Chain A
Amino acid sequence: QQQVKQSPQSLIVQKGGISIINCAYENTAFDYFPWYQQFPGKGPALLIAIRPDVSEKKEGRFTISFNKSAKQFSLHIMDSQPGDSATYFCAASKGAAGNKLTFGGGTRVLVKP
């Protein structure tokens, strides 16, 4: 049972463009939504995270938008750079279950120079 659905599976964006990745979740008990960035041969690195009491959070060029009623959240990468080329994972967890993360399937982003 895939509780977090992520789309698209891959995307290509020009340098300077905006990358948008979407995730939808089913479990309304989820209350923490992080995004991770993973480069080949490396472990996932925490990028940015949001909790459902906030509709948007921005850190540098990365912004999370959260829509609680639609059970959706998205990552926007502004002014995309070739160094942003990586696989991005959304995830969700519920506090009562500890730190267990349920991950989306991942999005491979390629930023063309």
Chain B
Amino acid sequence: KAGVTQTPRYLIKTRGQQVTLSCSPISGHRSVSWYQQTPGQGLQFLFEYFSETQRNKGNFPGRFSGRQFSNSRSEMNVSTLELGDSALYLCASSISWPGNTEAFFGQGTRLTVV
């Protein structure tokens, strides 16, 4: 059974640009969550999608957005990139929502903003 797939693995962008990251959840999983991981702030929740609807949102500015497609794949977008957006962006998939179900993470997309 394939795990969570995130693409691309690495990205280098310039300040002011925008970026789109992709996540394919485990087959049969319908909930996708996104996290930002930095050395200073640790792992922080961005948002969660289930059935193409955002169910939960973390404390991030509106430059961070996401969406989910009917096949449960998800994308997140960051507009007007800032240097501080450099981080490892992680996607996690879970079987359902709500309720505490196991969350499985992908390998992440390493975003560097220069």
Contact = CB atoms under 8 A, between A and B. Distances in A.
Contact of B43 (A45, A51, A94, A103): A103
A44 B102 CA distance: 12
B104 to A, nearest CB: 6
Interface stretch (B14-22, B63-71, B73-81, B92-100): B92-100
Interface residues of B, number: 29
Given A95-B100, A105-B42, A100 B56 contact: yes
A46 B58 CA distance: 21
A99 B90 contact: no
A77 B100 CA distance: 24
Given A95-B100, A98-B55, A105-B42, A43 B33 contact: no
Interface of A: 31-32, 34, 36, 41-46, 49, 51, 89, 91, 93-106
Given A91-B43, A99-B101, 20 more contacts: A32-B100, A36-B105, A41-B107, A43-B105, A44-B43, A45-B105, A51-B100, A97-B98, A98-B31, A98-B97, A99-B33, A99-B48, A99-B94, A99-B97, A99-B100, A99-B103, A100-B56, A105-B42, A106-B42, A106-B43
